[in-house]
Structure 1
């Protein structure tokens, strides 16, 4: 009888032990898949940061870094209602606009993905991407003290004096923030990362320019200003740390203003197989009273989801008309 019980127990336990061993093997294999041949964390793939958490915290929240679960769920529910209202404008059977009403491109914008979720980091529902200063706000100087490209053009009143004075995005030179992952705007939540031993390349859907980061590289001694600056990286254990400087002045645009002193230190760290934490610290003594830091969680896009080309108005045909209109205004008495 005892032998029968032992044999029966062994018959049950052996498959369980085998299953546990196989499960551990799969986990180990999955972890190995997230390593490059050099043994470094592998960030390759398609990622998004689609959430409704703003760059800066609403002033009314003060130093409140996170929402309670109840507060977060209420905000998510409100966003879901907003999504339903927005999708109603896409109904092909909707009625025509009223005669004489204002028609905009709102329906076009409504095709963009609508952020529902709130950014979660370490189990917290974050109230802002900025975590330092403690109030979650950009520590920007008084506008009269800032002599960046954006404010200089505004004060001059010469926005259309010539093509060089217009915003870079308006000229289809580069769009969005100084670096593509810094905050969400329009189609910017999506990015593809390609990684080798010596390079990390980030391609955003919007901004749509490929950014090339040299791993274990050095800034050139005679470096010159470039779009998206000059980026070099090094490994600190399993975190990739990137330092970028030498940005072009023309990239200064709200909400993040910049001058020739603008520098960014970024950190990329895998947290799970399908998530990584991206953080950055900005320094520019011409614009900010102190450095500021932001954190953004990224999730791997679902299998089959990819980036699509975002083509700016190639040829800038409408820009010539803007300049022509400005010259006509110049001739007005």
Structure 2
């Protein structure tokens, strides 16, 4: 679901603020004052191989043909924010800051635990998802790297500005989502449990208060399957097959992968416009080009990164990196029923008609 309860939205913002305050406070305590600004250095182009090589590695499981074994059930729920907060001027935090941030976020998740029978203030019913379903309820969401943002390029740790066309798409999408449900044609695909949020590609790290952050990887010599919790499996072909014709457009794009050393590099083309609507509210254009990178660091950690280029959406390409973590063998993906009986669209429309009837009765207009 796109809608989050106000409590969880506020909590996520509060946690992010705490992470910044922790780092800024420690930085202020340990840094000497300066009397002049630091010299500006020219930006270097992003080199993913150099960047990936900086992450520590351990024993890496391998398949029969000697490739890194990416298989397992993984989570992309991490505390590292997508963008570096404006008040944060460091590219990395310390281990002590990371542990403190984990404790702050975990306590916030505990404080927000809501019983399913409790009606939030100002609401007529309980929230569709109480805290039982949210990341941070059952476990402490970790900081898996010391970066202060998932965005590593541009160097400021911020997603580049949107183009005017993308901003307009975002406004139109918000209007569609918030306008009355006049018919099934104007409801998003997620109302039908199709293209739910955070199913990728690409993935970004989520955090406390989010959901649907687990996925499974199944691997063979010729294909790797990425299976998110909310369906929508992605087939990554490694056998050198040709891409679809230019006029064939797919919501999840056409994925072709190859190994560069121990990193699986996946090249995506043939996206349908709005194919990335589950990740970015303003969607994408058909000109988008996505490159994903997957590298297993050890038994329990998987480094993920992507570079995305879409001149119709962002003013320049950008890249992210973050470390996913493996769930235990006892934790498995279960059926994602989305909503019982798949009646969400039916109930949305019937509720809209009931609301219209209620307004007619209040106004005395019974035409």
Q: Would you call these one fold, judging by a TM-score over 0.5?
A: yes
The aligned residue for residue 212 of structure 1 is 235
Aligned length: 292
SS of alignment partner, residue 241 of structure 1: strand
Cα pair distance change 1:91/1:102, threshold 3 Å? closer
Question: So what's the TM-score if we normalise by structure 2?
Answer: 0.68
Cα offset, 1:101, TM superposition: 7.7
Does residue 202 (structure 1) correspond to residue 229 (structure 2)? The answer is no
Where do residues 69-218 of structure 1 align in structure 2 (5 Å cutoff)? 69-87=95-113, 89-90=114-115, 103-105=125-127, 108-114=130-136, 116-121=140-145, 125-141=146-162, 144-146=164-166, 150-154=170-174, 160=181, 162-177=183-198, 178-179=200-201, 181-184=203-206, 186-206=210-230, 208-215=231-238, 216-218=240-242
Partners of 1:217 and 1:233 within 8 A in 2: no
Provide Cα deviations, 1:271-290, integer angstroms capped at 9, x if missing partner: 11322211111111111011
Compare CA radii of gyration and give the structure with the larger one. Answer: 1
CA separation of 1:50/1:145 partners in 2, compared to 1, >3 Å: closer, same or farther? closer
Offset of residue 108 of structure 1: 2.0
How far the C-alpha of 1:188 sits from its partner, in A, is 3.1
CA RMSD of aligned residues (A): 3.5
Structure 1 residues 159 and 58: alpha-carbon distance in aligned structure 2, compared to 1, 3 A threshold: farther
Q: Report the equivalent of 1:260.
A: 286
Task: Summarize deviations over 1:284-329 as a string: whole Å, max 9, x none.
Answer: 1111011111112122211211112211236653424544637986
* SS of structure 1 residue aligned to 2:87: helix
Q: How far is the alpha carbon of 1:60 from its aligned partner?
A: 2.2
Measured after TM superposition, the shift of residue 153 of structure 1 is: 4.2
Q: 1:136 to 1:320 in 2, by over 3 A?
A: same
The CA deviation at 1:202 is 0.7
Q: Which has the higher strand share?
A: 1
Match of 1:45 among 72, 78, 82: 72
Structure 2 distance, partners of 1:147, 1:97, is 35
Alignment partner of 1:248 out of 272, 279, 286 = 272
Cα distance change on mapping 1:250 and 1:107 into 2, 3 Å? closer
Q: Is residue 78–residue 143 contact of structure 2 (8 Å, CA) maintained in 1?
A: yes
Mind listing any 5+ residue stretches in structure 2 that lack a counterpart? 1-58
SS at 2:296 equivalent:
strand
Deviation at 1:109, TM superposition (A): 3.1
